[in-house]
Structure 1
Amino acid sequence: MDQNFSLMAQSRANYYTAGSPVQFVRVELLKGDVTGEVAVCLTFKNVGTEPLTGLVVHFKCKDAAGQVLCEDDFYYEQLNAQPGEVFGSDDAVYVSDTPVSSVEVEQDRAFLNGRGVDLRAYKRVRLQLPRVLPASIARTLQNRTGNAQLTCVPQDNEYGWFCACGAFHPNEENSSVCSECGGDRAQIKATLTNILEDARRAAERQQQEINAVAQQAAPQQPVAPKADPAATAAAAQAAINSQIEDDAGATAAYDPKSFAAHDEEQDEEDERVRRYAPKGRLFADDDDDDEGTQMYDTDELDDDLDDDDDEDYAPRKKRGRYADDDEVSEDDEMAERIIHWAPPITAIVCALIIAVSLVYHFVLA
């Protein structure tokens, strides 16, 4: 059953095999419009100096989960690929009814004019893919060159050069024209340089216009006149001279005799104050009426109170207590007892002493 295949995905090789006459270029996934099957196509390039008549490669296809869908060898036979020519994109190495996520390719053997060359001995060199141009610059480059495939920044490295279409050309190829898009290496670079220069000039003009509009919109600030150096120096010298004169006048105004006379007058005034105010104060101080802690006798307080005031006066203050102390301790009670009983006991003891003395004097003597 015949069906057409359309491009579904494409990925360029991120490496090249240094010294090899055959380079792997890209892998493409094509989808059938009838069955929906996925065809895997590989593209290679002959970068040697001899025609390529055959190629053997080993490939491995995996799904999104990393499971191997197919692993096999593929033979490109009856080729006639000239130096710089690409081939293989029309041959499907594998057709799958399930989606293919990744493809691994290893080159095994090449045939140059019937002579076999082992490609497994060549080492792979990883490449840093070129940067993508901004959309506006890419469109301008495509319009000026007439090449719709130019989307990347052309660049050179130690292993070869990248075309603006993304194709890598190793030094072994020794070519200045891209074998994939047909673009001239030098022409593409010159055109892109002119485009970038025009863009820079346009940006500068736009910035100048913005600055001009901003200056017109901003309020005009008065420009201060430039100072005259000679006038500034003269004013500074005059200020210095004035300061020197002021300092000299202040020094000459000091008179020790006047200060001594003032001290004598102050001493006489202090002596007069001490004479009429021995306590050091001329006026009564209201702060002397301190209503703080005071010691007083309750007996004197009782004499000042009338009989009618006895009912209002409760409780009575204890003798020898502070007026602002309401707390009663055991020591205070003992002191009150001693004060209460000391006079009668003393009187009794004195009477006994007198009696004993009289008995001894009149009876025993």
Structure 2
Amino acid sequence: MEENFDPVARTRANYYTPGSPVQFVCVELLKGEVSGDHAVCLTFKNISRVTLTALEIHFKCKGVDGVILCEDQFEYRDIEVKPGESFGMDDAVFVTQKAITSVDVSLKNVYSGKKVVHLDAIKRVRLPAPRRLSPELQKALEARMNRQGMKYMPQVFENGWYCACGSFHPKEEDTVYCSECGCDRILLQNALNTLLQPEKKEPAPAAEPVCPAQSEADERTRVIGADPVPPAAPVRPAAPVQEEPTRVVSSFKAEPEAEATRVMPTPKLEKPASFEPVLDRAADDEGTRVIPSTRKEPVRPAEPEDYEEDEPNDARDSVAETLIRWVPPLTAIVCAAIALWGFVYYQFMM
């Protein structure tokens, strides 16, 4: 009597076998509609580049209290699984009336025609748990990728990579496409990076402080009657305040008699030009004005020196100069002669 089984739970494998052409993907727990029996179905995937014809496994089913309910071998025979295809999800490996909490699967032998790969001695590697996305990020990623079930963070490890759908692809599979959801790993990662980047918002202009110096300048402007600077115009601290320079009002032109004395530039001479007061009596009503004189001071001829008084000094200077000039070379010649005589004496006389 055939019976329909409804899915109760589905759990992905948290370990894999390095170097195996077959990957254990997930375990699914089913329950019969009439009898209420529990059945276990295992799903495998061919990650090699050849067609697989058989698979031998060893499994353990545990109950609620951790007691092993069943431990047995199972064989998938007369199969023809092409690269990238999954199999085993339609075959129940164990049926029991008790509730099953966990299933442990070990790969034994994989067959491809007459070729066999033994996996008994290979130690299984536990996989890190996938990271769950937030509901908002999940919806955004599903909308961008136009797919459903994008619940997990795409991750790349040394031994493989996780897809957003939760499937793990070991490095032996050597693919960038997910065999379950069809996502491209690179496009998926780029889409997620785009969603994770914060939106660039234009910064709101900050309230610019009013310079106290400008306030004082405005007050001064109002005092002298100039046009005041509008208070609403902000003053940027970086730019200097363009204040109106203080205007110097020229004084009234003084009368000729009150005009200040002007100093005229003098030509460059060896000696500084002397300013001599010159009395200008052309107009008696005007006061005496001091006009700088541009006349050069007459150069007086140098008075001849009295050479008669300096004759004794000059004679002594000439003698001293002669001694200074000839004493050193004569001294050197005498020393050389003494050294030569001493050399000859010791060589031939003694």
* TM > 0.5 fold call: yes
Give CA deviations for 1:190-226 in whole Å, capped at 9, x if unaligned: 22222223xx11xx54x96xx89xx8xxxx9975626
Looking at structure 2, the residues matched to 136 and 71 of structure 1 have their Cα atoms a distance apart, in angstroms, of: 43
Deviation at 1:3, TM superposition (A): 3.1
1:86–1:179 Cα contact (<8 Å) kept = no
Give CA deviations for 1:17-57 in whole Å, capped at 9, x if unaligned: 11111111111111222222211011111112211100011
Give the alignment's TM-score, normalised by structure 2.
Answer: 0.57
Looking at structure 1, the residues matched to 90 and 152 of structure 2 have their Cα atoms a distance apart, in angstroms, of: 25
Looking at structure 2, the residues matched to 184 and 58 of structure 1 have their Cα atoms a distance apart, in angstroms, of: 33
2:137 alignment counterpart: 137
Deviation at 1:188, TM superposition (A): 1.5
1:62–1:69 Cα contact (<8 Å) kept = yes
1:114 alignment counterpart: 114
Q: How does 1:41-190 map onto structure 2 within 5 Å? A: 41-190=41-190
Give CA deviations for 1:325-344 in whole Å, capped at 9, x if unaligned: xxxxxxxxxxxxxxxxxxxx
2:212 alignment counterpart: 225
- Structure 1 gap ranges (5+): 228-365
The root-mean-square deviation of aligned C-alpha atoms, in Å, is 2.4
Q: Kindly tell me: are residues 226 and 166 of structure 1, through their superposed partners in 2, closer, same or farther at Cα, counting changes over 3 Å?
A: farther
Q: Helix, strand or coil: the match of 1:139?
A: helix
Give CA deviations for 1:88-122 in whole Å, capped at 9, x if unaligned: 11111011111101111111111112322211122
1:58–1:105 Cα contact (<8 Å) kept = yes
The structure with the largest alpha-carbon Rg is 1
Q: Helix, strand or coil: the match of 1:108?
A: strand
User: Structure 2 counterpart of 1:41, which letter?
Assistant: C
Q: How does 1:170-249 map onto structure 2 within 5 Å? A: 170-197=170-197, 200-201=198-199, 205=201, 223=210, 225=212
Give the alignment's TM-score, normalised by structure 1.
Answer: 0.55
Looking at structure 2, the residues matched to 193 and 144 of structure 1 have their Cα atoms a distance apart, in angstroms, of: 12
1:177–1:184 Cα contact (<8 Å) kept = yes
Looking at structure 2, the residues matched to 60 and 166 of structure 1 have their Cα atoms a distance apart, in angstroms, of: 24
User: Structure 1 counterpart of 2:88, which letter?
Assistant: G
Q: How does 1:19-34 map onto structure 2 within 5 Å? A: 19-34=19-34
User: Structure 2 counterpart of 1:160, which letter?
Assistant: G
- Structure 2 gap ranges (5+): 215-350
Looking at structure 2, the residues matched to 222 and 194 of structure 1 have their Cα atoms a distance apart, in angstroms, of: 38
User: Structure 2 counterpart of 1:86, which letter?
Assistant: S
1:25–1:43 Cα contact (<8 Å) kept = yes
* Structure (1 or 2) with the greater helix fraction: 1
Q: Percent identity?
A: 47
Give CA deviations for 1:301-340 in whole Å, capped at 9, x if unaligned: xxxxxxxxxxxxxxxxxxxxxxxxxxxxxxxxxxxxxxxx
User: Structure 1 counterpart of 2:177, which letter?
Assistant: V
Q: Helix, strand or coil: the match of 1:110?
A: strand
Deviation at 1:146, TM superposition (A): 2.3
Deviation at 1:59, TM superposition (A): 0.7
User: Structure 1 counterpart of 2:10, which letter?
Assistant: Q
User: Structure 2 counterpart of 1:118, which letter?
Assistant: H
Q: Kindly tell me: are residues 144 and 2 of structure 1, through their superposed partners in 2, closer, same or farther at Cα, counting changes over 3 Å?
A: farther
Q: Helix, strand or coil: the match of 2:53?
A: strand
Give CA deviations for 1:224-249 in whole Å, capped at 9, x if unaligned: 6269xxxxxxxxxxxxxxxxxxxxxx
Q: Kindly tell me: are residues 226 and 91 of structure 1, through their superposed partners in 2, closer, same or farther at Cα, counting changes over 3 Å?
A: farther
Number of residue pairs aligned between Structure 1 and Structure 2:
215
Looking at structure 2, the residues matched to 226 and 88 of structure 1 have their Cα atoms a distance apart, in angstroms, of: 85
